Amino acid sequence: MNIIVCIKQVPETQEVRLDPVTHTLKREGVKSIINPFDLYALEEGLRVREARGGRVTVLTMGPPQAESALREALTYGADQAVLLSDKAFAGADTWATSLTLARGIAKLGGADLVFCGKQAIDGDTAQVGPEVATFLDIPYVSWARRLEFAADGLLRVERLLDHGYDLLEVDLPALITVVKEINEPRVPSFKAKLKAKSAPIPVYGAADLDLDPATVGLTGSYTQVVKVFPPPARGQRERLSGTPEEMAARLWQRMQAAVQR
Amino acid sequence: MDYLLTDEQRMLVELAQQIAEERIKPVRAELDEHEIFPTEIMQDLAQADLFGVIIPEEYGGLGLGTLENCLVLEALATACVGVATTYAASFLGAYPLLLFGSEAQKQKYLPILARGEQLSAFALTESQAGSDASAIQTVAVRDGDHYVLNGTKQWITNAGEAGIYTLVAMTDRSKGARGASAFLVEVGDPGVSFGKKEQKMGIRASTTREIILQDVRLPADRLISKEGMGFIIAMKTLDHSRPGVGALAVGLAQGALTEAVTFARQRHQFGSPIISFQAIQHMLADMATAVEAGRALVYSVARYIDSHPKDFGRQSAMSKLFATDMAMKVTTDAVQILGGHGYMREYPVEKMMRDAKILQIFEGTNQILRNVIGLALNKEFGKKAK
Minimum distance, in Å, between the CA of residue A177 and any CA atom of chain B: 24
Q: How far is CA B87 from CA B39, B157, B231, B261, B311, in A?
A: 11, 10, 24, 28, 26
Rg (CA), chain B: 21
| Nearest in space to B261 (alpha carbons), one of B281, B243, B244 | B281
Of B11, B18, B52, the CB nearest to A187: B18
Cβ–Cβ contact A190 with B under 8 A: yes
Cβ–Cβ contact B8 with A under 8 A: yes
Residues with Cβ within 8 Å of B144's Cβ and at least 6 positions away in sequence, in order, are none
Alpha helices (H) along A76-213: 94-107, 128-136, 190-198
- The residue-averaged pLDDT of A237-249 equals 90
pLDDT of A103 above 80: yes
Alpha helices (H) along chain A: 36-52, 67-75, 94-107, 128-136, 190-198, 244-260
pLDDT of B14 above 70: yes
Confidence of residue A195 (pLDDT cuts 50, 70, 90): very high
A97 domain residue, yes or no: yes
* DSSP characters over B270-318: TTEEGGGSHHHHHHHHHHHHHHHHHHHHHHHHHHHHHT--S--HHHHHH
Cβ–Cβ contact A185 with B under 8 A: no
Of B7, B23, B62, the CB nearest to A187: B23
Instruction: Classify each residue of B86-95 as buried b or exposed e, where b means 16 or more C-beta atoms within 10 Å of its C-beta.
Output: bbbbbbbbbb
pLDDT tens, residue by residue, B203-215: 999 999 999 999 9
pLDDT tens, residue by residue, A114-170: 999 999 988 889 999 999 999 999 999 999 999 999 888 899 999 999 989 999 999
pLDDT score recorded for residue A239: 85
* DSSP characters over A240-252: --S-HHHHHHHHH
Alpha helices (H) along chain B: 7-19, 28-34, 39-47, 66-77, 81-100, 103-114, 230-266, 278-306, 313-343, 349-359, 366-385
ipTM of the complex: 0.89
Q: Across the interface, do B48 and A188 touch by the CB < 8 Å criterion? A: yes
CB A24 within 8 A of CB A218: no
Total structural domains within chain A: 1
Q: How far apart are CA B285 and CA B290, in angstroms?
A: 9
Given phi > 0 = left and psi -120 to 50 = alpha, else beta, which region is B239?
Answer: alpha
Q: Across the interface, do A187 and B62 touch by the CB < 8 Å criterion? A: no
Cβ–Cβ contact B30 with A under 8 A: no
Amino acid at B88: A
Which positions in chain A touch B48 (Cβ < 8 Å)?
187-190
B363 is catalytic: yes
pLDDT score recorded for residue A21: 72
Minimum distance, in Å, between the CA of residue A224 and any CA atom of chain B: 39
A256 domain residue, yes or no: no
DSSP secondary-structure letter at A187?
Answer: P
pLDDT tens, residue by residue, B316-370: 999 999 999 999 999 999 999 999 999 999 999 999 999 999 999 999 999 999 9
Minimum distance, in Å, between the CA of residue B209 and any CA atom of chain A: 30
pLDDT of B184 above 90: yes
Q: Across the interface, do B44 and A190 touch by the CB < 8 Å criterion? A: no
Which positions in chain B touch A186 (Cβ < 8 Å)?
44, 47
Domains and CATH numbers, chain B: 7-119 (1.10.540.10), 121-228 (2.40.110.10), 231-385 (1.20.140.10)
CB B322 within 8 A of CB B315: no
Which positions in chain B touch A196 (Cβ < 8 Å)?
none
Share of chain A above pLDDT 90, in %: 76
Cβ–Cβ contact B27 with A under 8 A: no
The residue of A46, A187, A197 whose CB has the most chain B CBs within 10 angstroms, and thus the best one to mutate to test that interface, is: A187
Confidence of residue A207 (pLDDT cuts 50, 70, 90): very high
pLDDT of A16 above 80: no
Q: For residue A12, how many other CB atoms are within 10 A of its CB?
A: 12
DSSP secondary-structure letter at B173?
Answer: G
Residues with Cβ within 8 Å of A219's Cβ and at least 6 positions away in sequence, in order, are A213
Confidence of residue A258 (pLDDT cuts 50, 70, 90): confident
| Nearest in space to B171 (alpha carbons), one of B97, B231, B89, B126 | B231
CATH of the domain at A150: 3.40.50.620
Q: How far apart are CA B223 and CA A240, in angstroms?
A: 80
- The residue-averaged pLDDT of B162-172 equals 97
Q: How far apart are CA B53 and CA B66, in angstroms?
A: 9
Q: How far is CA A259 from CA A246, A253, A255, B366, in A?
A: 20, 10, 6, 79
Instruction: Round the average pLDDT of chain B to a whole number and report it.
Output: 96
A112 domain residue, yes or no: yes
Minimum distance, in Å, between the CA of residue B98 and any CA atom of chain A: 21
Q: Specify which residues B175 forms β-bridges with.
A: none
Of B15, B19, B44, the CB nearest to A193: B15
pLDDT score recorded for residue A14: 66
A251 domain residue, yes or no: no
Q: How far apart are CA A205 and CA A83, in angstroms?
A: 9
Q: Across the interface, do B50 and A190 touch by the CB < 8 Å criterion? A: yes
Q: For residue A224, how many other CB atoms are within 10 A of its CB?
A: 8
Residues with Cβ within 8 Å of A209's Cβ and at least 6 positions away in sequence, in order, are A84, A100, A103, A104, A106, A107
Residues with Cβ within 8 Å of A125's Cβ and at least 6 positions away in sequence, in order, are A94, A119
Q: For residue B265, how many other CB atoms are within 10 A of its CB?
A: 12
Q: Across the interface, do B47 and A189 touch by the CB < 8 Å criterion? A: yes
How many contacts does A have with B, using Cβ atoms within 8 A? 32
CB B231 within 8 A of CB B133: yes
User: Looking only at Cα atoms, what is the longest distance across chain A?
Assistant: 72
Q: Name the residue with higher pLDDT: A153 or B117.
A: B117
Note the pTM of the prediction, 2 decimals. 0.89
- The residue-averaged pLDDT of A53-75 equals 96
The DSSP bridge pattern shows strands B180-186 and B223-224 to be: antiparallel
Residues with Cβ within 8 Å of A241's Cβ and at least 6 positions away in sequence, in order, are A247
- Residue A169 structural domain: 2-215
A232 domain residue, yes or no: no
pLDDT score recorded for residue A15: 65
Q: How far apart are CA A92 and CA A117, in angstroms?
A: 19
pLDDT tens, residue by residue, B250-309: 999 999 999 999 999 999 999 999 999 999 999 999 999 999 999 999 999 999 999 999
pLDDT of B146 above 90: yes
Instruction: Round the average pLDDT of chain A to a whole number and report it.
Output: 92
A47 domain residue, yes or no: yes
